[in-house]
Structure 1
Amino acid sequence: MSNDFIQQAASTLRAAHRRGSGATELGELAKDTLGPAFGPVSFVAVFRSAFGIPIDILQRALAWQGFNSNINSISDEEFTNLLAKWLTEPESK
């Protein structure tokens, strides 16, 4: 997985955010955009690059039910609240 691939995915997420996509839509978009390359490292890299979200926050976000269906998953609401500080206003990056 190249840095260019991560940067392209980050650009896709930023554009979607500017159009009004929220956390859950961006999470699904990241999963779709990364395709087979989707995983913990690529998710963290893309969201960090796109929105500057700290790694420790993104590590917790990995527990989102949209990525996992296990008993320790966090809900859509928890995922949204966790990322809210960085996704409150669409970025103009």
Structure 2
Amino acid sequence: LKGELGLVMKNALMSLSQNSEFEIEQMEVDQDHLPILMTISPRYSVSQYVRRIKQHTTRVVWQLHPKLKQQFWKEKTFWSDGYFACSVGNASAETVRKYIQDQG
């Protein structure tokens, strides 16, 4: 995901967060994953946020890079099915932020 595609992902997520009930505190792009520290509303489940993020970023990538759509269309997906999520308290948020910064 590095390079231009990584920038597309970051911009798409920042745009989505401006119109959604979540705030991105830290985000980086690594070879095959996108670590994000975010504050979410308890109104929706974590899986609902993840689904929305994956749907939105996939749509943006397909629009900006139609050749990628052809490459990934065999499986009809851009993202893998899974994700990792955990909650952090105030004491460990800085540790998570540092970890995410070191991913890029």
Same fold (TM over 0.5): no
* TM bucket, shorter chain: 0.3 to 0.5
Q: TM-score, normalised by structure 2?
A: 0.30
Answer 1 or 2: which has greater helix percent: 1
Largest Rg, 1 or 2: 2
Answer 1 or 2: which has greater strand percent: 2
